[in-house]
Chains A and B, each alone.
Chain A
Amino acid sequence: DAGVTQSPTHLIKTRGQHVTLRCSPISGHKSVSWYQQVLGQGPQFIFQYYEKEERGRGNFPDRFSARQFPNYSSELNVNALLLGDSALYLCASSLNRGRVNEKLFFGSGTQLSVL
């Protein structure tokens, strides 16, 4: 089975632009989460989606939005990009069968550079 796939792998944008990042979860996984990782820090939670509904949101501005499609893939959108949005954006999927000790599977991320 393929793992979590993210596209594109790298992206360069300028301040004020908009960006869309894409994620395909592992087949059968219904939950997708997004994380932002700034260089030298651990990943920070942005969103979680399950069955196409937002189930949680981290401490990020409204410029960040996401959605999940019927096939469980997901998009992360960031508007009005700032230099501080430069980071590795990670997508993680899980089965979410309700077990409390379920593990997450991460993709390799999209490296976004804002100039």
Chain B
Amino acid sequence: LAKTTQPISMDSYEGQEVNITCSHNNIATNDYITWYQQFPSQGPRFIIQGYKTKVTNEVASLFIPADRKSSTLSLPRVSLSDTAVYYCLVGDFPLISSGSARQLTFGSGTQLTVLP
């Protein structure tokens, strides 16, 4: 799995747009980019996943440049409840029939703190 680098922490204010960038210089051709959110004492929650260009869902957008060596998670108009740790993961998640485990490798993530 490709190694990822994210900022350790970020602060923002309510109502602002937050962009968290993840670097993954050695991303492989088959790798997908996935972001998870985790609140204290809870399991991670899937936010968004993409392969290239831009992906948008009801909670976030994911921007991936053409070289795919980085990606940016964009959270529009954050609220206090968006305070959490955000993890960027890169991998190809092999099919279970191949015999390989669908192992996710989490880094230390980015602690986002939204201030009033």
Interfacial residues, chain A to chain B (CB-CB below 8 A): 4, 31, 33, 35, 40-45, 48, 50, 55-58, 88, 90-92, 94, 96, 98, 100-109, 111
Contact = CB atoms under 8 A, between A and B. Distances in A.
A101 B45 contact: no
Contacts of A103: 34, 46, 49
B93 A92 contact: no
Interface size range of chain B in the complex: 20 to 34
Given A42-B87, A48-B102, A103-B34, 5 more contacts: A31-B96, A45-B103, A90-B43, A104-B104, A109-B41
B108 A100 contact: no
Interface in B31-54: 32, 34, 41-46, 49, 51
Interface of B: 30, 32, 34, 41-46, 49, 51, 87, 92-97, 99-109
Contacts of B45: 106
B105 A45 contact: yes
Contacts of A35: 104, 106
B93 A56 contact: no
Nearest to A57: B101
A108 B108 CA distance: 18
13 contacts: A33-B101, A33-B103, A41-B108, A42-B87, A45-B103, A45-B105, A88-B41, A91-B43, A100-B93, A101-B93, A103-B34, A106-B42, A111-B41
Nearest to B109: A42
Contact of B43 (A41, A44, A55, A107): A107
A100 B32 contact: yes
A96 B96 CA distance: 7
A89 to B, nearest CB: 10
B106 A108 contact: no
A88 B44 CA distance: 12
B44 A43 contact: yes
B60 to A, nearest CB: 14
